[in-house]
Amino acid sequence: MKTLSIVWAVVGLMLIGGCDKTPSTQSTQSKSMANVVGKTSANQDDSGFTPVVPGYRFEFPRDHLAHNNFRQEWWYLTANLTTETGEQLGAQWTQFRVALNPTDLQATFPQTTDPQTATPQATDTKTKSESTWATQQLYLAHSALTSSQTHLAQEKWSRRHSEFAEVKIDPYQIRLDNWRWQSETNALFPATLTVENPDFSYRLQLNSQAPLQFQGTNGYSLKSRDGQVASYYYSQPFIEISGEINRYGKVERVTGQGWLDREWSSQFLTKTQQGWDWFALRLNDGSTLMLFQLRDQSPAESANNAPISAFYSARRMFADGTGRNINSTDNPNDIQMTPLQWQHTVNGDYPVSWQVKIPSEDIDLIITPLNPNSAMPLSTPYWEGPVQLSGSHTGTGYMELTGY
């Protein structure tokens, strides 16, 4: 799961620095984003966007597509991979969509009084906004490839336009320039994820037969104790992967397991929330665990390792589609997260090793990074990389740390 702070920090930089007036993706610092999007930051309240409320009726393939009537969303894949020589790697790809203004709703949902029942348009039509390269929808994407010795990362951004950045159906496709999720049908899987960069690339075949998992209460995922901030959130934590990576011109075959998160919302985090620690963990008993805490303070600000003021949520998930929600509202002591080791990186200091205890699930884990220097040196700083598990369970997974 990506944080709203990552999305809006990048957008803030785009509003300040902008991108050039050609319909291409970002390659250099440009002159004025206002020339591209027109009215950018004039309307920053949430009132014009569709609110996140309980009881949303998920429908597919509709909800695999963009939800332009919500403020922001992302498609987020992490993968724990192994080369033919046994080397452990991590791969990450995320495509974000951000609406600067709630006026450009035609791209995914036809006009309707009830977005719950809307269906996606099967084909694209050329709109006035495309002909003038003006849009209120921005796409940005991050990718990374991590080993125990190296952490390679890149980013792209673009206006929404059918030639450059979009999400479409029949067959299903998520695209920004030459980074592309391409399905064979209108379903998520089977699919091929292709990411091409000068120093690294990968082409991964993705498949899953497992049911989707809905986080929170049937996909309504709270992000604050008072219930004022929430998102729609579903996952596929059981993805089989094969394919190849290319590092500095050397091609290697890989296999592994992946995790896809889909999330959209119209709300920011609360004013007191400083950051997010998120874990996607694959346990050796065949289950998976999604866990996050939204912090009101950083671990470094917590005196003598006292408990961090945070909102916690977790879900234990199984390949048959069943699962159990775990949250600190029901049982304040059932999720315990303690940072064990800090790492100084190019982005600052991050708690890269953790102890996680969930007594109700008989979980007591030590989480360590494959590469502690996995800070993302992009437009906004955060840490993200593969992790390894020991303790009550062994396994692998991914960790994301923001707000440090």
Mean per-residue pLDDT, 116-134: 45
Tell me: the pLDDT tens digits for 302-344? Answer: 555 555 678 999 999 999 999 999 976 667 789 999 999 999 9
Mean per-residue pLDDT, 149-172: 93
The rounded Cα 95 to chain-centroid distance in angstroms is: 7
How far is residue 48's CA from residue 52's CA, in Å, rounded to a whole number?
Answer: 12
How far is residue 235's CA from residue 75's CA, in Å, rounded to a whole number?
Answer: 10
What is the model's pLDDT at position 2? 60
Question: Could you tell me the pLDDT band of residue 100, with boundaries at 50, 70 and 90?
Answer: confident
pTM for the predicted model, two decimal places: 0.85
What is the model's pLDDT at position 43? 36
What is the model's pLDDT at position 305? 57
Tell me: the pLDDT tens digits for 366-387? Answer: 999 999 999 999 988 999 999 9
What is the model's pLDDT at position 278? 97
Is 330 or 349 the better-scoring residue by pLDDT?
A: 349
Tell me: the pLDDT tens digits for 258-310? Answer: 999 999 999 878 888 889 999 999 999 999 999 999 998 766 665 555 556 78
What is the model's pLDDT at position 329? 67
Closest C-alpha among 261, 259, 267, 274 to residue 309: 274
**With 60 as the cut, is the pLDDT of residue 397 above it?**
yes
End-to-end alpha-carbon separation of the chain, Å? 17
What is the model's pLDDT at position 310? 87
What is the model's pLDDT at position 270? 81
How far is residue 184's CA from residue 190's CA, in Å, rounded to a whole number?
Answer: 6
Domain 4-20+48-402 has CATH 3.40.50.300: no
Q: In whole numbers, what is the pLDDT of the chain averaged over residues?
A: 84
What are the residue ranges spanned by the domains of the chain? 4-20+48-402
What is the model's pLDDT at position 19? 42
- What are the residues whose beta carbons fall under 8 Å from the beta carbon of 293, sequence distance 6 or more? 276, 277, 308, 310, 311, 312, 335, 337
